[in-house]
Amino acid sequence: MQAIDLIVNYPLSIINCFCFFDYLWIYVSFRMGGCYMINAILLAGSSKGSSAFDPSMFYLIMALVAIFLLVILLLFLRKRFVPVFRLWYISAVYGKYSFEFVEFVHDSHMINPHYNCIKDEISLRFLVFFKTAKGAGSYTTNSGIEFGDTPFLTRYKELFRSKGTPFCINVARLGPLRVKVIGYREILAGMKMRSLYYTVDEKFVMGEFVSSDLHKVQPANLLSILSKKYLNGIDLTGDSIYITDPGGNVLYYENNGFSICMRYFYAGDHAINKTLSTVYGIEGDDSANYIRTLHEEEMLNRF
């Protein structure tokens, strides 16, 4: 694995090292180019004063001037060409829907070729599973929580192959974790919704159905569907509800008045859970971790 990372990242390291020598190369180019041109002009002048003037000196001077101007032009345009080359390289190695591609586009302030799946921070979507929402109802079910026909822990590449090209994508870093969200347009029980797939370090750990059309997606209908599937058809009411299965996996329903969402979280990966708990200030650190995470993610999604 380290050998693969070295092969992939070594060319990028070579490209990055040029940034350190920007001004040095400009200075050397001016000094050397200027000296060559002055010497050539002096030689041309001395030759012109003699009876045997060599016309090739004129073409030599023009060639040196052209080379000098070309070098200066390339040096000043390097900051534009190198990011484009790096983006092409990342796209060829990782793909246009990879974490590396989207993060580099954001960090380089380039135009994102993809739509964003969500406008707020990704970390807020996980937070409700580590800090219980106030006033939320809580229920348990004997049925396993599952997100459609996609098993939890499915690898991102397999998910991408089975679902096809997504219409949107977001990425974020939550502590050491690399989180990616890809979205699709789907129909759930006759209702048009967006299905979002959250992968953490390339593993699918959370799914979400979202709709902003509250006229067509009636909250009562969704609650009735959830109740029949998980709670034996009991009367289910409320704007925020937790349903937990025997394995600890959680379904969170929320109606905030603007949109309705149902999030399905897999709680079986203890390493991810522990890291997220630390990010949110629940374990091993204070809330400063989460404030820093929000700030970094806001800067990432600003573009």
Q: In this predicted model, what pLDDT tens digit does every residue of 151-168 receive, in sequence order? A: 999 999 999 999 999 999
Model confidence band, residue 278 (pLDDT cutoffs 50, 70, 90): confident
Is the confidence at residue 50, as pLDDT, over 60?
A: no
* Per-residue pLDDT at 123: 85
CA 203, 129, 261, 303 torsion: positive or negative? negative
Q: Which has more confidence, 216 or 73?
A: 216
Over the chain, what is the mean pLDDT? 78
CA distance 235 to 224: 8
Write the CB contacts of 158 (distance below 8 Å, at least 6 apart in sequence).
none
Model confidence band, residue 108 (pLDDT cutoffs 50, 70, 90): confident
Is the confidence at residue 143, as pLDDT, over 90?
A: yes
pTM for the whole thing?
Answer: 0.70
Q: Which of 300, 294, 270, 282 is nearest to 130 (CA)?
A: 282
Beta bridge partners of 265: 206, 250
Is the confidence at residue 27, as pLDDT, over 60?
A: no
Is the confidence at residue 15, as pLDDT, over 90?
A: no
